[in-house]
Amino acid sequence: MQPGALADLRVLELTAGMAGPWIGRFMAWCGAEVIKVESKTRPDVTRQYVPPWAPERGIEPQLSPWFTDWNAGKRFVALDLKHPEAVALAKRLVARCDVVVENYAPGVLEKLGLGWEELARVKHDLVLLSTSGFGDSGPYRSHVTWGPNIEAVSGLATTSGFAERPCTMTHYAYPDSLSALHGLFAVMCALDHRSRTGEGQRIDLSQLEATIAVYGEALVEPLVRGRAVERLGNRSRHAAPHGCYSCAGEDRWCAISVFDDEAWRRLCRVAEHPEWIEEPRFATLDARLANVAELDRRIESWTREHDAFELMESLQAAGVAAGVVQTTEDQYRRDPQLAARDFFEEIEHRVKGTVVATGIPLGLRGTPGRTPHAGSAVGEDNDYVFGEILSLTSDERRRLTESGAIEPRDEPRR
Amino acid sequence: MVSDPHEAPAALAGRRVLEIADEQGAYCGKLFADMGADVVKIERPGGDASRLVPPFWGDEPHPERSLPFLYANTSKRGVTLDLEQASGREIFRRLAARADVVIETLPPRTLDALGLGWDDLHALRPELVLTSITGFGQSGPRAGWRSSDLVANALGGAAMVTGYAEDPPVRLAGSHAHVMASTNAAAATMIALHHAARTGAGQHVDISIQETMVAVTHICGVGKWLDDGIVPRRAGTGLFASVPSGAYRCRDGLAYLMINRPAHWRALAEWVHEETGNEAILSPLFEGPSSQRLEERELLDVWIEDLTSRHTVREVVQQGQRRHLAFTAVQSAEEVIRDPQLAARGFFVEVGTEGADGVRLPGAPYRHARTPWRIRRPAPRVGEHDVEIYCGELGIGEDELDRLRAEGAI
């Protein structure tokens, strides 16, 4: 096995939720040693998972699938950062790290005595990424937000979707994942600068700003012209047909994108309606765009009678871009492409045995990553981190635990 | 590239990137270029087809006025090159021999067929990173399938969980599958460069747009489903894991609320009680994690809207935030453009563009204290830097340039 691409890096995480933790998850997968600091009074919110199949068991902090998705492969320590000795320990850890990732509310790090100035004093070439809803300045700096709030406030929700809807939102807390991917790139850029100059720096990532950058191409028009964005739903201004078309069965749809007249003619042949090719109102892209409502009805009169997967196969065989609107179950059970590429990852879990997680899509062919484990408790790696990395004797560790700076490992219920 | 000695340094100064990318990968090159890498966009003679994606500046179709193109190609230099011709391929090899990264979005095996695939480039320059962004990746039974942003949203799982149960699945405004794959590719490329700097070994980065979308949507993904057996589908504005959450009606618009911690629920319940006199909302049955409130979700929404509908959006956000509740406005594009938070941080930037006096564009997605993100130049015109790069940097003489032009290689 190749050593991971980031095997020379150590990362400290002061994070909860997804936008911060997902960055460390990627880095751990690439071989970095990632240490996450939590406390029992404020564990990562994603640990507050109650299994819906056994609600009587209450919160299962190690079993949450989201905790796996965003935190598998890391080391976990428990520190009460309101305790001065815990802050001192955190600083000693920072001195041994290359990167700190944090997503506390802006200003909290400073209040704890772990602000940029303090951290840069103990580690002169540190890279610190702070990620927050609105960024570290401006009138909304201290506003409480989660990913979906940012979809709403960024304008993404009102520019997306069908024209008659007041707003359209994802069910996947999109600003969290898009901010994490931007944050990972931002950290790697800062490390590149560090490798050339020896200089560290801090990075302020506003999830609002990252979200606007991501749908920027749709915002350019109102920026340039001061006029509202036309909500297109699934339609395109340069392709037709272009939509998710209803197929046989309940909530079954096939997405189809036809960008040119040749693809249109191929679609007509797959549909066994060669006579459509002859109709002038659909013969050219401009004509199809001008008659798009009628075109969509026509396409759906055909797709409705067919299985979505069979439609996708026959359209792709003819060279037309098409894809089933897949559920998670479809992706896991009946997607031969994801299976052939071993996309989903089976991870050893300390309580469950093994779990399956969504793959890390970095595509690093020379240094494929892996996730060594999942299912850690708060404070799982206290002994390793404070003993091996900071070289504290067991007596010192006991004293710091008795003083309340280090919190003992949270024992699993079973 | 011209550099001003008084200017802040760039994080990726000195990094050289070649880009052969349509709209699937242009944002990847933009991320590098706005952080200071020298990104050279290689287009076929006449210009890339993505220059003709509407809408256009001034409404008239023109290869230098496509607004999506102007946005996704900032800070790059541009040359034209025909890789179908031997002389074009030879010039590409000379450019690649000086590059750290090649980003490409051609169908799998296209570069191999031209003698410019991973093996060829690796032999030419062992530390080079080749980043390929394609619909389904370089391997597997569907590697040759056609994709689009919409198709990737479908197969990648995003469309099934966006919008309302009673509507068809839908994608978001913009090109999110392409932009996410590009961002993922940029991060992966930087990780590969980090590894190459330490070991001298470059690698092939194989980005699948579908896989990227599966990962981006993974809160609705396989881990949750294998655990609870519930397949996520479209469900309006509320997030399934957080009760309450969603867009609530106010007197003059919508405010979005999300509750994720027990303490936040208590603060909300107290506020609803104070203003509406609702006693039932204070019941201890609703306290604790979201799962405690799951079954009464719709009833709680009615009670919360009884509060929010008495106020303007502004009042709900201000008073809610004072109580540490995650209330934000649901904003239109026009409101975003005038947003005081973005204005205070100077987010939108003006970029001078030929024939158009200053286009305002979204600005920095992250702010590096030492090496700030910056748009260094507007998107290149077709072949804008042919002479600068071919003559100035590769040392091609003017006669040869004329000959290459006559052959149609550039």
Q: Which residues contact A53 (CB under 8 A, 6 or more apart)?
A: B227, B228, B229
Determine what percent of chain A is predicted with pLDDT higher than 90: 91
pLDDT digits 0-9 by tens, B104-133: 999 999 999 999 999 999 999 999 999 999
Q: Which residues contact B67 (CB under 8 A, 6 or more apart)?
A: A217, A220, A221, A224, B54, B55, B56, B57, B359
Do A305 and A360 lie in a common domain?
Answer: no
What is the Cα Rg of chain B in Å?
A: 26
Do A191 and A110 lie in a common domain?
Answer: yes
The pLDDT of residue A2 is above 70: no
Residue of A216, A254, A337 lying closest to B361 (CB–CB): A216
Query: Cβ(A67)–Cβ(A45) under 8 Å?
Result: no
What confidence score (pLDDT) does residue A1 get?
47
What confidence score (pLDDT) does residue B2 get?
47
pLDDT digits 0-9 by tens, B189-208: 999 999 999 999 999 999 99
Instruction: Name which of A173, A229, A148, A223 is nearest B332 in CA terms.
Output: A229
Query: Looking at beta carbons, which pairs linking A408-414 to residues 24 or more positions away fall under 8 Å?
Result: A408/A78, A408/A379, A408/A382, A409/A78, A409/A377, A409/A378, A409/A379, A409/A380, A409/A382, A410/A40, A410/A43, A410/A61, A410/A78, A410/A377, A410/A378, A410/A379, A411/A377, A412/A62, A412/A351, A412/A377, A413/A57, A413/A60, A414/A351
**In which band, very low, low, confident or very high, does the pLDDT at B240 lie, cut at 50, 70 and 90?**
confident
Helix (H, G, I), strand (E, B) or coil at A32: coil
The sign of the dihedral angle between the CA atoms of A354, A356, A361, A366 is positive
Q: Which amino acid is at B119?
A: D
The pLDDT of residue A414 is above 70: no
The tally of domains found in chain A comes to 2
Helix, strand, coil shares of chain B as percentages rounded to 5? Answer: 40, 15, 45
Cis amide prior to A408 (ω within 30 degrees): no
Q: Cα–Cα–Cα angle for A115, A118, A122, nearest 5°?
A: 135
Do A135 and A183 lie in a common domain?
Answer: yes
Q: Examine residue A274 and state whether it is found in any structural domain, yes or no.
A: yes
What confidence score (pLDDT) does residue B1 get?
44
Determine what percent of chain B is predicted with pLDDT higher than 90: 92
What confidence score (pLDDT) does residue B5 get?
54
Do A93 and A203 lie in a common domain?
Answer: yes
What confidence score (pLDDT) does residue A230 get?
86
Do A253 and A311 lie in a common domain?
Answer: yes
Average pLDDT for chain B: 95
The pLDDT of residue B354 is above 80: no
User: Scanning every residue of chain B, which has its alpha carbon at the shortest distance from the alpha carbon of A242?
Assistant: B150
pLDDT digits 0-9 by tens, B274-283: 999 999 999 9
Residues of chain A in contact with residue B53, where contact means CB-CB under 8 angstroms, are: 238
Q: Examine residue A192 and state whether it is found in any structural domain, yes or no.
A: yes
Q: From A298, A327, A356, give the residue that closes a domain.
A: A327
Q: Which residues contact B2 (CB under 8 A, 6 or more apart)?
A: none
Q: How far apart are CA A137 and CA A293, in angstroms?
A: 46
| A174-197 and A207-214 helices, crossing angle to 10° | 100
Which one is catalytic: A176, A296, A381, A410? A176
Q: Choose the weakest-confidence range: A59-63, A334-338, B80-84, B94-98.
A: A59-63
Q: Examine residue A67 and state whether it is found in any structural domain, yes or no.
A: yes
Q: Examine residue A219 and state whether it is found in any structural domain, yes or no.
A: no
Helix (H, G, I), strand (E, B) or coil at A369: coil
Instruction: Name which of B76, B14, B231, B173 is nearest A196 in CA terms.
Output: B14
Q: Examine residue A410 and state whether it is found in any structural domain, yes or no.
A: no
Q: How far apart are CA A279 and CA B409, in angstroms?
A: 40
Gap between the terminal Cα atoms of chain B: 21
Determine the distance in angstroms separating the CA of A275 from the nearest CA of chain B, rounded to an integer. 25
Mean pLDDT of all residues in A298-319: 98
The pLDDT of residue A353 is above 70: yes
**In which band, very low, low, confident or very high, does the pLDDT at A57 lie, cut at 50, 70 and 90?**
confident
Mean pLDDT of all residues in A172-195: 98
Which domain covers residue A296, as residue numbers?
Answer: 242-327
ipTM of the complex: 0.98
Query: Cβ(A327)–Cβ(B231) under 8 Å?
Result: yes
Residue of B207, B211, B360 lying closest to A224 (CB–CB): B360
Q: From A301, A327, A353, give the residue that closes a domain.
A: A327
Q: Which residue has tokens 């405690």?
A: B292
Mean pLDDT of all residues in B162-181: 97
What confidence score (pLDDT) does residue B234 get?
96
Query: Cβ(A254)–Cβ(A270) under 8 Å?
Result: no
What are φ and ψ of residue A174, in 5° steps?
-50, -45
Determine the distance in angstroms separating the CA of B76 from the nearest CA of chain A, rounded to an integer. 17
Do A38 and A91 lie in a common domain?
Answer: yes
Mean pLDDT of all residues in B63-91: 96
Do A141 and A99 lie in a common domain?
Answer: yes
Q: Which residues contact B328 (CB under 8 A, 6 or more apart)?
A: A143, A145, A149, A150, A152, A153, B255, B256, B317
Ramachandran bin of A111, using left for φ above 0, alpha for ψ from -120 to 50, beta for the remaining angles: alpha
Do A290 and A143 lie in a common domain?
Answer: no
**In which band, very low, low, confident or very high, does the pLDDT at A49 lie, cut at 50, 70 and 90?**
confident
The pLDDT of residue B236 is above 50: yes
The pLDDT of residue A345 is above 50: yes
Q: Examine residue A414 and state whether it is found in any structural domain, yes or no.
A: no
Q: How far apart are CA B243 and CA B95, in angstroms?
A: 55
What confidence score (pLDDT) does residue A250 get?
97
Do A34 and A180 lie in a common domain?
Answer: yes
Mean pLDDT of all residues in A291-314: 98
Q: Examine residue A278 and state whether it is found in any structural domain, yes or no.
A: yes
Residue with more model confidence, A414 or B125: B125
Query: Cβ(A10)–Cβ(A374) under 8 Å?
Result: no
Interface of B with A in 346-385 (CB under 8 A): 347-348, 359-371
Candidates B100, B119, B368, B374, partner chain A, best to mutate (most A CBs within 10 A): B368
Do A23 and A152 lie in a common domain?
Answer: yes
Q: What is the dihedral of CA A273, A275, A276, A279, to 10 degrees?
A: -170
**In which band, very low, low, confident or very high, does the pLDDT at B289 lie, cut at 50, 70 and 90?**
confident
Q: How far apart are CA A124 and CA A8, in angstroms?
A: 18
Determine what percent of chain B is predicted with pLDDT higher than 70: 97
Query: Cβ(A159)–Cβ(A219) under 8 Å?
Result: yes
Q: Choose the weakest-confidence range: A210-214, A401-405, A409-413.
A: A409-413
Instruction: Kindly state whether B38 is in contact with chain A, defined as any CB-CB distance less than 8 angstroms.
Output: no
What confidence score (pLDDT) does residue A3 get?
78
What confidence score (pLDDT) does residue A55 get?
82
The pLDDT of residue A51 is above 90: no
Interface of A with B in 78-117 (CB under 8 A): none
E-strand stretches of A193-338: 201-206, 242-246, 253-257, 321-324
Q: How far apart are CA B342 and CA A138, in angstroms?
A: 8
Do A29 and A73 lie in a common domain?
Answer: yes
Q: From A295, A327, A359, give the residue that closes a domain.
A: A327
List the CATH number of the domain containing A292. Answer: 3.30.1540.10
Query: Cβ(A377)–Cβ(A46) under 8 Å?
Result: no
Taking residue B7's Cβ as centre, other Cβ atoms within 10 Å add up to 12
Q: How far apart are CA A307 and CA A313, in angstroms?
A: 10
Q: Examine residue A232 and state whether it is found in any structural domain, yes or no.
A: no
List the CATH number of the domain containing A114. Answer: 3.40.50.10540
The pLDDT of residue A297 is above 90: yes
The pLDDT of residue A408 is above 80: yes
What confidence score (pLDDT) does residue A50 get?
84
Q: Is A176 a catalytic residue?
A: yes
What confidence score (pLDDT) does residue B356 get?
56
Q: Which DSSP string do the residues of B38-63 spell out, in sequence order?
A: EEEEEE-TT--GGGGPSPBGGGS--T
Do A140 and A275 lie in a common domain?
Answer: no
Instruction: Kindly state whether B63 is in contact with chain A, defined as any CB-CB distance less than 8 angstroms.
Output: no
Instruction: Answer whether B365 sits within 8 Å of A182, measured CB to CB.
Output: yes
Instruction: Name which of A228, A233, A229 is nearest A162 in CA terms.
Output: A233
Cis amide prior to B55 (ω within 30 degrees): yes
Q: Choose the weakest-confidence range: A243-247, A326-330, B64-68, B148-152.
A: B64-68
